[in-house]
Structure 1
Amino acid sequence: MSPLLELTDAQIGGWVGSFLLPLFRIAALLMTMPIIGTQLVPVRVRLYMALAIVVVIMPGLPAAPRIEGIGLPALLLIAQEVLIGVMLGFALQLFFQAFVVAGQIVATQMGLGFASTVDPANGISTAVVGQFLSMLVTLLFLAMNGHLVVIEVLTESFVTLPIGGGFLTQHYWELANKLGWVLGAGLLLVLPAITALLVVNLSFGVMTRAAPQLNIFSIGFPLTLVVGLIIFWIGLADILGQYQPLASETLQWLRELAGAR
């Protein structure tokens, strides 16, 4: 009879470390990134996807440190991997939220701020215009294989940000400083619509001064709403030209956060 296979603690710890630690980074990214990390995708499906990605990329990953039981060093390594995955996922969330902010701004200007609906992806109430732009940018992101670029950057991050390589606090500070970019990008997206609606409101103000007997409230709101919808419809013709620079900047910034080429 052949002897039983004997495994040492070092071998078990090495195998667990090479599989479990990358799993935490990948699962953290899939739990926080847009599209996959929303409530539309069940948590069990996200975990299965994380397991599948780990199994595929594990043979090409650098050697991971060995885990010796559940102690403070192992918990610190797990926390580091979770932070890296959350950092990459939150960077993508900023890109998608820029379009949601743009929709909220233009909806408020045209009088559709009260027209809100429950966002099934996040479970919160958002303006209809913002929800429409969110769905549109999701379709554009998938059509241009943005999710494949994210998986590529995630795979390269195990080389540029190796497991157990220490916390990169400067990357987290860069992520915090990027929060203002969301509002700026949202304003740039709807700046033409805001300018046109401002001209319309100024025209109504001049009409009110010229003809005080004119009931501006009865005709101003419907006209502002109709003109706002027309301006928004015309602006959608250039949505691809607005999407591409922001998407390129976001993916490039994602590579810089991960230290990838």
Structure 2
Amino acid sequence: MLALSDAQIGGWVGSFLFPLFRIAALLMTMPIIGTTLVPVRVRMYLALALSLVLVPTLPPMPQVDAISPQALPLIVEQILIGAVMGFSLQLFFHVFVVAGQIISTQAGLSFASMIDPVNGASAPVMGQFFTMLVTLLFLAMNGHLVVFEILAESFVTLPVGDTLSVEHFWQVAGRLGWVLGAGVLLVLPAITALLVVNIAFGIMTRAAPQLNIFSVGMPLIVVLGMVIVWLGTADILSHYESLASEALRWLRELARAR
């Protein structure tokens, strides 16, 4: 008769439970899958499915009883790693959200807002347009598969039970403050064009004070803003490729992946 001790059963459970926490934390915080558009139950089922696929290929896990107090620091560690990886991807998506909000403000479209189904708050329509655009590009170029690949490599480069370097996380996190700068650079041509238009209307108002600039200028600025955005989308793919490559490279550095 096969006799198993409680420690052996707890170690086997831990070998599946520790990777599950890291995978679930990433899926709960990453863009697209981690939004409110995907139910929590579906995300948990997906985390279980990924864990069943990845666990047989992972390095040996620490033989720690999953229901013992010694397992609590390991669980918190895995949740922290997965959450940090997911939030770093969220910053990449917010580059395009910031770009859309900047254009909305400059083009007089900030009053055109709608309820963001992801965050449940009011957001400019232009920001929603850029969010949907980057989501479709991310899925079309298999960005989610690259994220899952980095996640699988992280169990080798950041094994469960390994001492984390806080300095490494702070160093990489400090480099992720590029959101606002990248968003401004993304829409810099549109901002410059709209600034020239506003300066032209200012000169017209100074030259002809009797001209009602509010009734003529605001509709024209809105129309010109839409035209400038339409022309700018022709070059959006090259900007997306450079920003996505940079974000995924930083994600690999965060996970110390090759």
Cα deviations by residue, 1:30-76 (Å, 9 ceiling, x for unpaired): 00000000001000000000000010011111111122354442111
Give the structure 2 partner of residue 177 of structure 1: 174
Give the structure 2 partner of residue 19 of structure 1: 16
Cα deviations by residue, 1:212-238 (Å, 9 ceiling, x for unpaired): 111111111101100000000000011
One-letter identity of the residue aligned with 2:159: P
1:117 is paired with a residue whose SS is: strand
Give the structure 2 partner of residue 251 of structure 1: 248
One-letter identity of the residue aligned with 1:115: A
2:33 is paired with a residue whose SS is: coil
Cα offset, 1:14, TM superposition: 1.8
Question: Do the aligned partners of 1:104 and 1:130 also contact (CA within 8 Å) in 2?
Answer: yes
One-letter identity of the residue aligned with 2:41: R
Question: Do the aligned partners of 1:91 and 1:175 also contact (CA within 8 Å) in 2?
Answer: no
Alignment of 1:58-137 (within 5 A): 58-68=55-65, 70-137=67-134
**Aligned match for 1:238, one of 225, 229, 235:** 235
Alignment of 1:120-199 (within 5 A): 120-199=117-196
One-letter identity of the residue aligned with 1:155: A
One-letter identity of the residue aligned with 1:122: N
Question: Do the aligned partners of 2:14 and 2:65 also contact (CA within 8 Å) in 1?
Answer: no
**Aligned match for 1:222, one of 219, 228, 232:** 219
One-letter identity of the residue aligned with 2:156: V
2:33 is aligned with 1:36: yes
One-letter identity of the residue aligned with 1:37: G
Following the alignment from structure 1 to structure 2, what is the Cα–Cα distance between the partners of residues 134 and 259?
28
Give the structure 2 partner of residue 49 of structure 1: 46
Following the alignment from structure 1 to structure 2, what is the Cα–Cα distance between the partners of residues 255 and 241?
21
Cα deviations by residue, 1:88-146 (Å, 9 ceiling, x for unpaired): 00110000000000000000000011111111122221110000000000000000000
5+ residue gaps, structure 2: none
State the Cα RMSD in Å.
1.2
Following the alignment from structure 1 to structure 2, what is the Cα–Cα distance between the partners of residues 70 and 56?
23
One-letter identity of the residue aligned with 1:145: N
Following the alignment from structure 2 to structure 1, what is the Cα–Cα distance between the partners of residues 59 and 27?
21
Cα offset, 1:172, TM superposition: 2.8
**Larger mean Cα displacement after TM superposition, 202-211 or 70-79:** 70-79
5+ residue gaps, structure 1: none
**Larger mean Cα displacement after TM superposition, 200-209 or 161-170:** 161-170
Question: Do the aligned partners of 1:197 and 1:228 also contact (CA within 8 Å) in 2?
Answer: yes
Question: Do the aligned partners of 1:87 and 1:175 also contact (CA within 8 Å) in 2?
Answer: no
The runs of 4+ residues in structure 1 deviating greater than 3 Å are 69-72
Give me the TM-score of the superposition, normalised by structure 2.
Answer: 0.97
Cα offset, 1:9, TM superposition: 2.5
Following the alignment from structure 1 to structure 2, what is the Cα–Cα distance between the partners of residues 253 and 148?
16
Count of residue correspondences = 258
One-letter identity of the residue aligned with 2:218: F
Question: Do the aligned partners of 1:39 and 1:121 also contact (CA within 8 Å) in 2?
Answer: yes
Following the alignment from structure 1 to structure 2, what is the Cα–Cα distance between the partners of residues 100 and 113?
13
